[in-house]
Amino acid sequence: MRSAARALVGTCVLMLSLAGTAIAQNSVASKPARRLLWFGGGLGYGSLSRTCDVCPNVPSEGAVTGYVKVGVAADVQLQVGVEVGWWRKNVQGTTITSGSGLLVVYVYPVKTSGLFVKGGLGGSLYREEVSGPKPASDTAQTTGFGLTVGIGYDRPLGPVLDVTPVANFLFGSLGNIRPGGIFKPQVQQTLLQLALGIKLHY
């Protein structure tokens, strides 16, 4: 968890440095296109933490994480989109899945820079599937409220293509689950996500 947090901070500092360099150079070639319609996706590393009202401290788990997104440019400095993200890992015979579907707003503070900050609200999912022969296998899941905040940088590779490193924090406030007969009330989850994506404009 601490290493993921350090990586998150390092990525944010790197992207801020890149943004400052781009502004100082005032390069027309690196100016983001920000056309009306766009979609994209990415993969990276995610550190998932989860807890509940009566659960002991559960160690965070790291695994591959990904997202897809689609949206529109409302303005040269404002975009609105929908993001769907996921994280999945087998932990001691139990497959844990975390997911989210969020309405997200992206704000570009400087017109000539690809730096953006984001925030969004929507739904969150947590699922545990215990492996084993049926009917011994057991699956439990819960859904609830989710939110995200993050920072990223759109670096143009062409007139309609960007490469986008992002650092995101996702939180989910969920309901109760009973995996393997063990009652877990009011599950909550947090995900620190570092990813590299691409974005296409139309």
Percent of the chain residues past pLDDT 90, beyond the cut: 56
Tell me the pTM.
0.79
CATH code of 13's domain? 2.40.160.20
Least confident segment among 117-126, 132-141, 163-172: 132-141
Q: What is d(CA 162, CA 169) in angstroms, rounded to the nearest whole number? A: 22
Q: Strand (E) positions, the chain?
A: 37-51, 61-75, 78-91, 94-107, 115-130, 138-153, 155-156, 161-173, 188-201
User: Residue 55 burial by CB count (10 A; 0-12/13-18/19+): exposed, middle or buried?
Assistant: middle
What is the tens place of the pLDDT at every residue in 101-112?
Answer: 999 999 999 988
The whole-number average pLDDT for the span 87-115 is: 94
* Structural domains of the chain, count: 1
Residue 13 has pLDDT above 80, yes or no: no
Is 148 in a helix, a strand, or coil? Answer: strand
What is the tens place of the pLDDT at every residue in 167-196?
Answer: 999 999 998 887 766 777 888 999 999 999
Question: Which residue is it, tokens 């699922």?
Answer: 127
Range of the domain at 33: 2-201
Q: What is d(CA 98, CA 87) in angstroms, rounded to the nearest whole number? A: 5
